[in-house]
Structure 1
């Protein structure tokens, strides 16, 4: 039984899977002499027999082999052997004697290195670590090439570490690592060597960092390994990172990390974990500023590292842990800012994208709230500075969420608060029309309409056109997309009114019509639409259609109170004006009955109004223009009777004057003018017109009375027509008055004093001058030369002077045409004076001689007058060469023949002479 297993030994292995981390908790390792399948009996029975063999055998080798078999059965079958911990320790304590006995004989069928190893294990299990280490050191010293040396080195180092002998532990771990041990054992050794170095103090920390970093390199060689860490290695890695972080925290923090990592040719996969662990250390120590600095340092140094979002997130957590919400908010803002750009955002994984959306929403909300508070406080400029970034963030966020409708709506509100209408409108439009399933889409669409309405309202009329085009498009879009929303009809009515204000009647009419036929339109909206239609049609001259529209609006108008009454009055006035314009159109087209009918029916719509009064007035005018004089007179008289104090009534008299004049009633026309003149500051234009009408009517007495009154005011002509008119009045008076002399005198004097003349006025004045001259000549002739002659002669000379003056006036007025007559009459005056002087009475007191002498003296006195008469007649005679022969020259020749017969009493035949004209006109 014993020889077989010994001879069949094939290999030696050490079971480490169940070993403890220190010698104190290790199980002994058994040598496996044979690796055969278990016998075809129950494991429990086999174990019972080996235990009995161990208890009954006195051979050390047999006992050791029995224990090995028991361990093998337990390991391979997984069965418990029924031994308590105390019993198991007792077994191994008993086995130690067998181990020592074999070792003391120096003879062993197996390998002594294996025996030493098992003895060390047994000593360790039975609580004798010193003896265990001695056997392990003996194994290492005697058998350096044994495959059990790495395990022995590890156990020796473990014992040294447990005993605080850290340099010795480091030495044995280093020896193991330099040898050819198993990778898992070397991994443990490297890890423990790092701790051994760490325990030796800061002087050995440089070696410790290198060792621990090698541990990390082994477990985490690349980025994929970070996601495949075995559960059994988690604690080891965690402790490694923790101790490295502790050393960094005590030796420079981030600077220490930079120094350590600089030794690697490339950034290790685990570098982010190390930064993270250092930040955790600082946070646990309450050193929050330094914790943030570590996270920020990693972000700054490795901005493209995939873990940067985690570090940014951790900064937020640190500030929150520090109880500094403002700085945490700032960190969230930095996080949001770092991934605002689409490219950066797309590089985030789903978890961080969700976090960015959450942070961005909170960031935008906080700015929106601050902006709203400033706006409520009246600080619009400050509010705009907060609204703008909130709007941009909402808009960016809206493009990164599944249901963006509310965000687009918020973006629109914020842009509007920032005074940025263009992006606000785009945001409202997106929320209103491009987000399926958004339950508040209609309100967003309406917000776009309201913003555009407000914008148009704030612009000057000259700048509204383009803005109104945009508003119209928005209203069209709203009403087409949401036809059942009651706000649409109000917007349509508003747009119609605005297009009307800008003068685009066609567009205004289109929108007004849509309101009029819309089933949801309210009466007030239809009322506004009919107002637009009425104004458009009225502006276009379609007054009949306008009248119908005004009547529709009037039917829809409701309300009470002063304002409503004023509004109704305006409507009625517009209706009345549309009727008035129909009348004007009919009048222009020559349809007098229709025009008059329209004008007169205005009063049924708006009685007593200005437009109704104007209609009455224009009805009369229309009849006047159509020469329907009697109907016109009737309407004019009615108008004056109904509206005697209206300003238009002043013009009635003129129109009546015209109607009376044209209808053959000049006397009534004159009466109208005189009646009006009574109320005028300057009545004479009307009175003179009345005089002319009396003249036309043949009422000379009434005419002359007005002429006399006017001329009594001594009017002064301002220009030629005034002078000619006054002369005509004087001429008419002297032609019809019983005593015309004053008018002859006035006519002559006015013509002589005036710078303006006409052939007619000169002729009139010349005639009057001759009349006055003849009357003066008659008076001259009628004065006798009686005693006392001196006085009579003085009177005669004065009369002669008067006649000469009149003749001079006649000559000035008649010119060359009357000069012959004037010369003749002047000569005859002197001749008459000579005759009268010769025939004058001789004083009775004279004797005959004295009487004779007296007559000689008279002849001597008369002779010069006769000579003067001859000279004047001769002067007249001499005019023949200049003017030719006329009647008065002939009379002068006859007079000369009587006065100077020797020279002038001849038979003379006067012929006209014409110069010879040749065939060529020469």
Structure 2
């Protein structure tokens, strides 16, 4: 609720205010002392006991007045008489004040001084020679006081108005204007109050009074709803109190230096400014205010605090949070920025917005954490509260993402990996920020685990090493060290996943970590197996040429090696040949491995028979790739299809058949590609690649102009895809192809579903609706067509910023068609007797028809604007004609009938004039280049309505060139 007044400006009765003002002309509602607190006990002189021997004469007003009255009776000079009368009037004023203070009833006490002051003013007006010591403005001031003390406020106000008008240089002018403003304010006349406060601000030399006037001027503007102006006035007050420049951090001391009274004034000014801002555009209005003031103010943060707290008290949590965010966005380098960011989070917590708290804390860390400019500029000294909140937030963010990742791990591994990466980021930042913190070792271990789960194995390895050998954490050190041994081997085995693989470095790292583990954590049961596995062989080090030679020697060894060694040798040979890209020989080696597998393939770490078949398939697949590199696609396709015969149960066989189809499509061998993929679909109905076939089959069928089959494939895509965009495009393209194949029913169903399920992109949605109107027109389902015409109009209207010229065109076209019935209804109604009834129906139909055509005009589409303009002109012209063609009462004689016709013509004439005006406006569009059927028809209509002007026949002047 808006307060009626600032609490510092209490509603003091006018009578007492005048008594206060006239007893001390420099006073106001606020103290004028330097510190803003007024005089205190310390300012009083030292107390002393009075001298009991000293006698104080009692002043008798009556005796003094009698002396003055005797002097008045004896005085003859007019100027002296006026001076004596003023003394008597002042004495009467004192007597009246004393009587009023002593009275126990309510009555008028000041009639005598009022009469005398008015008499003196009259003498002053009639005396051309000024009386020394008597000024008219002073007399009016005293008269106004007397009237006010007597409760005659309206009369007092008139006297003050006279004073303000009569003497613009009066020393009483500033206070007079202030009093006039106060009266106007109390009466709710805020415009007059504002003008008077403004006058008070420019009069006199009392800075405190001027400040009060400025403050109250702001209130008048606030009361009038001029919140922008009131903000400017209150800002000037704040500038006077706190200064317009300086460091915001100095404001706290500045408030202390102001003293209690002016501190309260600051608080109240901020409060009303907060209200004004809440009635405008909130925090945006603060930045607008700063721009109007010509720059930022040191107390700007107080405005944000006030507005944010006001919103919070009103439980407008979102507005409160946005206010604090606005400050941070526009004052990112301010020392107050962290506390405002914290306030934002606290508001979300109070408002119970859990979904916003986490992003807000993320933003807090990004703005003020170790990687931020804020941190860098301050070299990490960001304040104890911000540091503590950063410590807490980093832990909470890391723990939240870690928990999210664990929950997603089973169902959504890809999402889990991303969550682990985010958790690792927060753990890493915590360790970097608080590297000496007691929790650093634990956080580093959790960092390593998250990096491992996220797939950042090198980073995980380094983090585990730090826990194991830098922190030597007694709780987690051994587990971290063991993980540091396993990770290099994992990196080697998954080397193809890392584009910057460093196999030799990882191998050396594995050996080094194994040795360190055995040394530092020798009591651990895993130490011996790790140490025993510290060696590596040629194949593990990817020294394939050397490994090939060794393998061939093992195979050729005499006496032959036992089955297990032979199995391993052929396996190493196959791997080496494969890595050396001798795929034909590798295929033969893997074939030998497969032959030996039943007897010797069961040893730990040995590949399964299926894996060997996969390697054979991979070797053939690589041969196909080599053929492709030489440009021999036919051979490559044959090799790919051979895989499906040699190792049909391998994953590569699946990929080979799939790729063979791709290469057939590249060669535009559509029929063969169709057969390959139909076979693929039949053999591998559940394979993930099968889900990708519909898109390829669409292209294959389109290339062969099998429109319906292509559309059927799109239906499969739309139903099976989990990608919303693929589903959307498939549905729309399917509708187009069904339409192209002549399957109207399916096309309608597809377009209808698209229009209902995919409002975005707006353009496609609108075109689907348009297609439905065309298809329903073709099927003769007019009701459904009308429904979708109206739907087009509604969609365009609700599209907002997404509206386009195309949507406006379609909406205008639909609107033109939908309003046609109202136009037909208007034309159908004839004016029959009784004319009043039929004319009433005609006018109602006319209003409806005009409204419909005006709706068409609202779209601003030239093609329909000219048509609607023509129709509006014709509506008025038709009403004019119908009036003239209406039935006449049969009982009229010739003279009455003539008069009746004249009356009808008078009624019809304005409509004909309106029709002419509208047709002329439509015809004038031709002047700017718009000339279509409807502009032409407006010209034709004008030729009938104004034939003298618009139905002129072109005349031709024949010129003779004959020389006479």
**What TM-score do the two structures reach when normalised by structure 1?**
0.41
Asked which structure has the greater RCO (Cα within 8 Å, sep 6+), the reply is 2
